Amino acid sequence: MGGTAMALLYSFRSVMAVFWRNKKSLVGLIIVITFVLIAVLAPYESPYNPTGFSTGPAWQPPSLAHPMGTDYVGHDLWSQFVWGARISLEVGFLAGAMVQILGNTLGILSGYIGGKVDDGLMRIVDIFLTLPTLPLIILLIVFLPFHGPLVVTLVIVITSWAGHTRNMRAQSYSYRERDFILAAKASGYGSLRISFSEIFPNILSLAMAGMMYSIVAAIGAEAALDFLGLASGNTVSWGTMLYWAQSEGAIINGTWWWIVPPGLALALIGFGLVMMNYAFDELFNPRLRVL
């Protein structure tokens, strides 16, 4: 196990080195950290109640008292924005992590073991990849008797594990005949141990890239559900902000300050995560390195 820890530590250090060298991924990292800070510090940054009864004046443009203005009943939009960051990031990171665990385990094992198990699993993966994701998520959310951010997270994981599983499987499959894997096999290592201590460290950067994309997809799906009015109860999120903006006539009233921040935040967090990927990509595929 000492070897695995060393390999992981080595990978981690080389990842950090690439981050510092690659300015694109550094920008991405800074954007993501900024949003994480906004979300974590929400209770200290929001002077007003984001939902419930409001006392402020309605339809206010941005001012010192309300940095992002107020909505149609006078809720402070900045408070909604920072609490909304929590929902987006919680669902995004949790779903991303769960897709990771599922995709890494199933993908690497399936690729290494091969045979009928692999064939069967890949058939299921292909079906999940072809089914229309957002309509399926909507269908499940509408028909499931449970609600709340955790259910949304689980539904997103169920509908989006397949892509990452297939990528990991393809990589793992390409490693199964390599000499060091055969050597490990000959010295009596089991499938599980070979998968996680021999194959996994080699494809760690691809796993990280997959994680970034899963998080982006999950944040987008969560916002889409909330925008369609499928948010549960009093949830405040970037998606519900846009839902209320549309249903209460922000377009006709020209209240751009209600519309711009949540959508721009969704674009920026997605951008930040994808830019972080350039560091992982560079580690995994030296061909993409800009010389």
Question: Binding residues for another protein, per CB under 8 A?
Answer: 23-24, 27, 123, 126-127, 129-136, 138-140, 142-143, 145, 216, 220, 223-224, 227-230, 242, 245-246, 250-252, 254, 256, 259-260, 262-264, 266-268, 270-271, 274-275, 278, 287-288, 290-291
Give the span between the Cα atoms of 72 and 241, in whole angstroms: 11
Least distance from C-beta 145 to another protein, angstroms? 5
Cα 92-264-161 angle, rounded to 5 deg? 25
Which SS3 state, helix, strand or coil, does residue 124 take? helix
142-176: burial string, b at 16+ Cβ within 10 Å, e else: eeeeeeebeebbbbbbbbbbbbbbbbbbebbbebb
Least distance from C-beta 89 to another protein, angstroms? 15
CB-nearer residue toward another protein: 37 or 260? 260
Question: From residue 28, how far is each of 94, 217, 270 by CA, in Å?
Answer: 19, 16, 9
Rg (CA), the chain: 22
Least distance from C-beta 267 to another protein, angstroms? 4
Least distance from C-beta 242 to another protein, angstroms? 7
Beta bridge partners of 75: none
Least distance from C-beta 290 to another protein, angstroms? 5
- DSSP string covering 219-261: HHHHHHHHHTT---TT---HHHHHHHHHHTTHHHHT-HHHHHH
CB-nearer residue toward another protein: 149 or 270? 270
Which SS3 state, helix, strand or coil, does residue 176 take? coil
CB-nearer residue toward another protein: 20 or 126? 126
Least distance from C-beta 213 to another protein, angstroms? 11
CB-nearer residue toward another protein: 191 or 247? 247
Least distance from C-beta 126 to another protein, angstroms? 5
Q: Which residues contact 230 (CB under 8 A, 6 or more apart)?
A: 138, 141, 142
CB-nearer residue toward another protein: 111 or 163? 163
CB-nearer residue toward another protein: 112 or 280? 280
Closest to 86 in 3D by CA, of 212, 241, 209, 272: 241
What count of other Cβ atoms lies within 10 Å of the Cβ of residue 104? 24
CB-nearer residue toward another protein: 195 or 240? 240
Give the span between the Cα atoms of 188 and 46, in whole angstroms: 58
